[in-house]
Amino acid sequence: MSENVVGTQFVGKKSRVFWLALKTGMLTVLTLGFYRFWMKTRLRRWYWSAIRPGGYPLEYVGDPFEKLLGFLIAVVVLAFYIGIVNLLLMFLSYSFFQDNFVAYTASFVGVVPLWFYAQFRSRRYVLARTRWMGLRFGLEPGAWGYAGRALLYWGLTLVSLGILAPLMVFRLEKYITDRTYFGTERMHQGGRWTMLYRPMRPLIISVLMLIVAAVLFVAEQIGPGTGLSVLGMGGLLYGYFAFKVNGLAVLTRHKHLAGCSLEMRPSAGAVLGIYALGYVLATFVIAIPGTALFILLLVVQSPDTAAELSLGTGGWVADQSRWVLVAVSAMLYFSIFLLWSALTHTFVTMPTIKHYARTLTLIEPASLLSITQRPRDAAEQAEGFAEALDVGASI
């Protein structure tokens, strides 16, 4: 590549992330979940350091204690909401409607804005703790503004039966991008929301095929309807990935920062293949301890049934007490989840990030050399609400 265009390297190895995810997951289980904040920090540092735009690695400098403190604060706030607000809603619901349905509905609707609020706060914290070439990223405050816009655009998308999904995706991404900083320079999201209809075409075609298939079924044209429905369902899966992957590529190509622009050309088919093959491999490996757990649970709960199936009628299993078998079953149970997490990092998350990273290029990166450092963002509460609402569970 020329000096005006630089690529991005990814130097991580599958074996490294597997053992890191497995080890940190085990520590999380042994500490009853408290090590989760250290686990996410260590995994992010590994992923960030493996991504190297222009040969310079990203740095993640998040503090696990910030995450833990933010989580505890969020739990207190949510406990107040669940304990006081829900109690009031339940009282009003029974007083006016003699039923609890209205209370549950209002409680759920009340949590939705918090979910979007947590999404924005999580992204703000991650950016505030990310560096490249020694310069900090940052995101201006605006979590409630994002939550309000997310509710509006999601409402429009649902009312339009998905037709306005590109408008929602573009407006929400622009809201975040236009508030994102690298050092002292602000990023800008260009383009128009209608440009996302091109990545959405496979999804639209698949939906139309399913509609035609439904009409054929009603008209009792079973053969053609079945074929179209199968094609439509397969196309729906590919269309989702095409809209997600190609839409991200289109948005990325219209981002600008201090004269530098980004280019990304991932393959929707490649990402779909990574997910399909990765989950198949993970499921195949998990089947081994899963089968052992099933056998042990069968022996513990119903020795007679196990004997009929020739399970537990002899050998080590038959000689153990029920409590030993329960303990072994619990160990196998947690082992399955730990192994699943490590395997999905190895076969799904890491290959996907690697694919995106290797298709990312920077155009005119020399313009970034004039950018100076920005002040450190305190980012109070860190990812507390994201952790409490399970929004920030991913890397």
Q: What is the per-residue pLDDT across 382-395, written as a single tens digit (0 to 9) for each?
A: 666 666 566 554 56
Q: What is the pTM of this model?
A: 0.83
**Helix intervals (H) in 182-321:** 197-218, 222-253, 268-301, 303-308, 315-319
Sign of the C-alpha dihedral computed for residues 274, 250, 366 and 181 taken in this order: negative
pLDDT at 170: 97
**Lookup result for tokens 């075609």:** 205
Sign of the C-alpha dihedral computed for residues 82, 85, 90 and 91 taken in this order: positive
Q: Is residue 361 part of a domain?
A: no
Hey, is 91 helix, strand or coil? Answer: helix
pLDDT at 309: 47
Residue 238 domain boundaries: 197-253
pLDDT at 315 over 50: no
Q: Is residue 310 part of a domain?
A: no
CB atoms inside a 10 Å sphere around CB 390 = 10
* pLDDT tens per residue across span 338-359: 888 899 999 999 999 999 999 9
Instruction: Report, as an integer, the average pLDDT of 310-318.
Output: 47
Q: Is residue 233 part of a domain?
A: yes
Q: Is residue 240 part of a domain?
A: yes
Q: Are 394 and 47 in contact (CB under 8 A)?
A: no
Q: Is residue 86 part of a domain?
A: no
Would you put residue 223 in left (φ > 0), alpha (ψ -120 to 50) or beta?
Answer: alpha
Strand-pair category, 360-363 with 260-264: antiparallel
Q: Where are the beta strands (DSSP E) in 204-348?
A: 255-257, 260-264
Q: Is residue 89 part of a domain?
A: no
| DSSP one-letter code for 13 | -
* pLDDT tens per residue across span 51-84: 999 999 999 998 888 888 887 777 777 777 677 7
Distance CA 126, CA 171 (A): 21
| DSSP one-letter code for 159 | H
Q: Is residue 98 part of a domain?
A: no
Pick the closest to residue 40 from 57, 69, 11, 62 (CA basis): 62
The count of structural domains within the chain is 1
Pick the closest to residue 271 from 309, 311, 231, 243 (CA basis): 243
pLDDT at 2 over 80: no
The pLDDT confidence band at residue 335, using thresholds 50, 70 and 90, is confident
Length of the chain (residues): 395
Pick the closest to residue 200 from 154, 243, 244 (CA basis): 243
Q: Is residue 217 part of a domain?
A: yes
* pLDDT tens per residue across span 176-227: 999 999 999 999 999 999 999 999 999 999 888 888 877 777 666 566 667 7
